[in-house]
Amino acid sequence: MHWRVQPLESRSLILGDVAVLQFERKAKKFAIAYDGMDGNRVFLPLSHNLLIVGSCEPVKTLPSAHEINYHSAALSIEYFVTSRNTDQEKAYHEILRSQALKFPQVFGQEEYDI
């Protein structure tokens, strides 16, 4: 896997409790790193303006910061951290836990009835 640090505009990323996102390029699908999906890209937001990108192939274009933030919020369980308080960040809080959580697939539905 090839790794690089991608600087972004100041205060463009949120930091979720799901730190590592994987991405399947052909399906254009995000997932948490441990849900069993075989993504070919990995995104790790380090701070509000630094993103670590891992990829099996050269990356010409990245998902937007908004796409990364959206999926970070949707796949987080309880919280995320942002460096500003705007309507966009409030919208991410509304997205928090909105998608089907991945934990039932990992731990078993009977233990975590969500």
Quick: pLDDT tens for 36-89: 667 789 999 999 999 999 998 888 888 999 999 999 888 887 878 887 788 888
> Residue 49's closest CA among 11, 14, 21, 17?
11
> Residue 13's closest CA among 81, 104, 59, 76?
81
The model's confidence at residue 97, banded by pLDDT at 50, 70 and 90, is low
Can you say whether residue 42 is alpha, beta or left, with left for phi > 0 and alpha for psi between -120 and 50 degrees? beta
* Separation between Cα atoms, residue 56 and residue 62, nearest integer Å: 14
pTM: 0.77
What are the structural domain ranges in the chain?
2-99
The model's confidence at residue 106, banded by pLDDT at 50, 70 and 90, is very low
